[in-house]
Structure 1
Amino acid sequence: MPPSIPAPSSPLLELVIELDRTAKRPLAVQLADALRRAATRGQLRTGDRLPSTRALARHLSVSRTVTAAAYDQLHAEGWISGRRGSGTYVTAAPPGSEHSHRGGEVQEEATPSFRVLLTPGAPWAEGVDRAAWRRAWRAAGDRAPDTLPHRAGVPEYRAAVVEHLLRHRGLVVEGPAENSVLATGGTTSAVAELAASVLPRGARVAVEEPGYQRAAEALCAVGIEVVPVPVDHAGVVVEDIPEHVSAVYCSPAHQYPLGGRLPARRRIALIERARRSGWLIVEDDYDGELRYDVAPLPVLASMAPDVVVHLGTTSKILTPTLGVGWLLAPERVTEAILEYRERTGTRPAPAGQWLLTELARNGDLGRHLRRLRRELSGRRELLVNALGRAGIEPVGDRAGAHVVIPLEEASAERATIAALREHGVVVDGLARHHRFTQQWYGVALGYAACSRRELLETLPLLVREFTGK
């Protein structure tokens, strides 16, 4: 019988591994085979941390010599590797495994096990004040359970969003919030609802290329045809948007992933074309609160509330734990979404809404945003200055939580990502942000999810990889 399983400190200790002590095959060989099988089945994944040989020996009631020999064999074969001061990790899965490398890239689900996470789109979660976080949860927990669902969102949450948009985005919401502001489950969720309730099936929607692929996938999932629109260093190229589309999805405040800011002239041209052609403009303001040089340009929704659907999220400024965002749109759009929610029985979960409401009510949200801007501005300066001294000029405005390092070709992008991963540093390439033929090559470096110490320690490695010196 296998030994009982203790409280796990590694995925490996959650597995039942049977070793036949009567067999002729050595126990170390049996153990190595069992670990390979676990990786093949997806029970162990690339990036998983393994227990020490001593801890595994105690867990299996075998000699440490057995576990050490099994690890040595797997290390020699390239399945695992050790990192000084960190431990032993799974570095590859057997060919054919669903968790093996694809196209030379480690799958996204493995990234949390790596030493330093430098991917864009992740927030500064460690900067959330824990006392404020607990205080908000306690206050939210004091709310009485609801009898009926809030299809549009919790009223107090929607009022907090209106105040947030005014203070941090300079957007004045005219009229009662219940006619124009809805709670959402986040940006992708909002796009999916728009596609299902407002856009006709088979409609064509113009999407930035490169751009946010989850939004594109949400559109395609309900039968919308995604049409690529090129971007440059200033954002979407308005004159290249096809005529016969129903909507345009864009990120004008901080184009994702290249980081450009759509200038006033293009904003006006985009609005004029939308009104003339009957388009909806879907404005993804995913990190519009994070600007470090000048005040952000007015959001499109303040310039053209009749044709703009404005989307915001808490995932980048706080944490994806909340799973909430907001949508500001013309009344005809919000009515269609509410009808869709009523028909399907869906609505965004209220728990995250109550928490955000409490953070805003106590002033903790505003304090967090001020700390967040100071911290990320400082981190961006550290990163850009270190790269600049080496002659590397990143792409992107002084905003947000990532920069892009341009490269000349796809092979250089893949090689750089792979080389950094060998050192336990996870970055993002521009390839996966293209839906069609790749036009931009480079690496996107996020600087929010890691600690400042990790960023400082990683800077020399980044410079070395990008300069080849």
Structure 2
Amino acid sequence: MAESWVDAAERIGVDLHLDPAGPGGRRAALIRALREAVRGGRLPPGTRLPPYRSLAADLGVARNTVADAYAELVAEGWLTARQGSGTRVAMGVPTTPPAQGARARDVRPAGRRPPAEVPSRARGPLHDLRQGTPDASSFPRSAWLASYRRALQEAPHEVFGPGDPAGRRELREALAEYLARARGVRAEPGRIVICSGFAHALRLLFAPGGAVLRGPLAVEGYGLGFHRGLLASAGVRTVPLPLDADGARVERLARERAVLLTPAHQFPTGGPLHANRRTTVIDWARARDALVLEDDYDGEFRYDRKPVGAVQGLDPERVIYLGSVSKSLSPAVRLGWMVLPERYVGAVLAAKGEREAWASVLDQLSLADLIRSGAYDRHVRRMRQRYRGRRDRLVEALAVRAPHVEVTGIAAGLHAVLRLPPGTERSVVEAAARQGVALDGLDAFRHPDGDTAAQDGLVVGYATPAEHAYGAALEALCGILTPGPDPVPVRDPGPAPTPR
């Protein structure tokens, strides 16, 4: 069977059928034809396009005409261009085939005009600004592959047998050193238990029957509903604590058996737990023989403040420290850890079972090597600079386009909270969904029983989009917050420089 033109284009970037006709000159006609080919599904995301010279020769136009058309479509977000990889159709661009005989409309993906329809869940949003996910395109593939190879080559034969439920000793030793150095955690390998992430840790700590911990559990007035649902399914009652500028109001703690906090960067409102409240919560735990569960979900990413150490460092026997690589590396690497008071290690291991059933042993060894080699630190520093650049671009764009919107919670983390006028959150979230922009409203994180005053706002994950798509996502967001006939374009300086 003859190879189709799409297959050929993907294979070597040639044989692209286009019909650049219509008003506006050859450049405008070529831009229109390329957009229609992408939107109609003839050029799927990731397809490599012909070089300038080849396409110009095929179409009988000047090489500069093709170069200018490519550059325009890169700026609009339809295409990406990287040295050594050529020009390709951008990932995430909508590919909705038109109805039979219908002509695809000229609609830009950057939100300058509303799309004809809301993208379906199957295709995903045009612009993903949801919190909780790092830039998937920035995963350190080369470093991870090198560590994986070394781990595989050096692994003893017993690695390929049943896994230790505590986790590989190599990873626990590497984590003990790293957490002490980077987060001020006081730990030794024997007190660390490896798990598959924060949710898995909660399931182990609050397993049905209360083998390890039981409720009631105090939580912050704003947090992930998924975690509250997980606890509720285990029969754990959660008691919300009000929040203010200094974090959770821990002086309200009473007869709860434990409290779950995000002290380095409150999720999702932002800001660290004040030093006085850190001392207060430790004093409460000692007086009540209670526990503090410390969720250090993005503790590595701080920008405009000195590093905030872990609360666990104040009293390792009263704090269970919980962490993972879901923000620093990827949620696809299902690895997390618990640093436990000594008296809880046996109970957690009993809840986990006799064999490791969750976390890949080879992934554990790879992460241990990544940490020991220094590659993990280098990746975190690189991403810290990149995410800070994205945060700054968000703040600058909103200052120009939407000065009425207050941006908070940005000294650390991977998201920002945009404060909205009272009564407007729902309409803004719905408008965003209609225009293919996925983001969360602040109210979605509010505890249903909380007495913290409800505030309208958006939780914007500026780390989620790929680097090439971030400018278009900002444009779409600003277009939603400042609707009008002639929106001011958002300056897109391009990808942040990669530190050496």
Q: Above 0.5 in TM-score? A: yes
- Match of residue 217 from structure 1: 229
Measure the CA separation in 1 of the matches of 2:362 and 2:295.
Answer: 23
- Match of residue 298 from structure 1: 309
- Match of residue 247 from structure 1: 258
Aligned residue identity for 2:257 = S
Q: 1:257 aligns with which of 268, 276, 280?
A: 268
- Match of residue 172 from structure 2: 158
Measure the CA separation in 2 of the matches of 1:426 and 1:68.
Answer: 24
Provide, for residues 238-280 of structure 1, a one-character-per-residue CA deviation record: whole Å limited to 9, x for no partner: 1223x12111011010000101211101111111111112221
Distance 1:90 1:456, change over 3 A: closer
Provide, for residues 184-237 of structure 1, a one-character-per-residue CA deviation record: whole Å limited to 9, x for no partner: 111111011111155555x21111121122222222121111112122233211
Measure the CA separation in 1 of the matches of 2:363 and 2:225.
Answer: 25
Aligned residue identity for 1:309 = I
Q: Secondary structure at the match of 1:228?
A: strand
Aligned residue identity for 1:399 = A
- Match of residue 282 from structure 2: 271
Distance 1:422 1:348, change over 3 A: same
Paired residues of 2:240 and 2:449 also in contact (CA < 8 A): no
- Match of residue 481 from structure 2: 466
RMSD of Structure 2 on Structure 1 (CA): 3.1
Measure the CA separation in 2 of the matches of 1:388 and 1:238.
Answer: 34
Paired residues of 2:119 and 2:125 also in contact (CA < 8 A): no
- Match of residue 355 from structure 1: 366
CA offset at residue 380 of structure 1? 0.9
The answer to which of 281-290 and 295-304 deviates more is 295-304
- Match of residue 411 from structure 2: 398
CA offset at residue 50 of structure 1? 9.1
Q: 1:336 aligns with which of 347, 370, 378?
A: 347
| Unaligned segments of structure 1, at least 5 residues | 1-5, 10-48, 56-66, 76-80, 94-109
- Match of residue 460 from structure 2: 445
Aligned residue identity for 2:331 = P
Measure the CA separation in 1 of the matches of 2:356 and 2:143.
Answer: 33
The answer to which of 266-275 and 415-424 deviates more is 415-424
Paired residues of 1:420 and 1:465 also in contact (CA < 8 A): yes
Paired residues of 1:394 and 1:406 also in contact (CA < 8 A): yes
Does 2:416 match 1:416? no
Measure the CA separation in 2 of the matches of 1:165 and 1:112.
Answer: 39
Aligned residue identity for 1:421 = A
Measure the CA separation in 2 of the matches of 1:322 and 1:430.
Answer: 28
- Match of residue 14 from structure 2: none
Aligned residue identity for 1:407 = L
Distance 1:84 1:371, change over 3 A: same
- Match of residue 182 from structure 2: 168
Q: 1:186 aligns with which of 171, 193, 197?
A: 197
Measure the CA separation in 1 of the matches of 2:119 and 2:410.
Answer: 37
Q: Secondary structure at the match of 1:113?
A: coil
- Match of residue 324 from structure 1: 335
TM-score under structure 1 normalisation?
0.74
Distance 1:111 1:426, change over 3 A: farther
Q: 2:220 aligns with which of 187, 200, 208?
A: 208
Measure the CA separation in 2 of the matches of 1:247 and 1:283.
Answer: 11
- Match of residue 238 from structure 1: 250
Measure the CA separation in 1 of the matches of 2:390 and 2:133.
Answer: 14
> In the comparison of the two structures, how many residue pairs are matched?
384
Provide, for residues 340-397 of structure 1, a one-character-per-residue CA deviation record: whole Å limited to 9, x for no partner: 2236975533233122112113221111011011111111111112223442321114
Q: 1:376 aligns with which of 387, 396, 421?
A: 387
Aligned residue identity for 1:288 = G
- Match of residue 31 from structure 1: none
Q: Secondary structure at the match of 2:406?
A: coil
TM-score under structure 2 normalisation?
0.70
Paired residues of 1:124 and 1:317 also in contact (CA < 8 A): no
CA offset at residue 148 of structure 1? 2.8
Q: Secondary structure at the match of 2:242?
A: strand
Paired residues of 1:50 and 1:89 also in contact (CA < 8 A): no
Paired residues of 2:167 and 2:356 also in contact (CA < 8 A): no
CA offset at residue 134 of structure 1? 2.0
Paired residues of 2:442 and 2:455 also in contact (CA < 8 A): yes
Measure the CA separation in 1 of the matches of 2:291 and 2:43.
Answer: 61
Aligned residue identity for 2:347 = A
Distance 1:90 1:160, change over 3 A: farther
Measure the CA separation in 1 of the matches of 2:116 and 2:145.
Answer: 33
Measure the CA separation in 2 of the matches of 1:163 and 1:423.
Answer: 47
Does 2:469 match 1:454? yes
| Unaligned segments of structure 2, at least 5 residues | 8-37, 45-96, 485-500
Paired residues of 2:163 and 2:355 also in contact (CA < 8 A): no
The answer to which of 139-148 and 163-172 deviates more is 139-148
Measure the CA separation in 2 of the matches of 1:54 and 1:248.
Answer: 52
CA offset at residue 126 of structure 1? 1.8
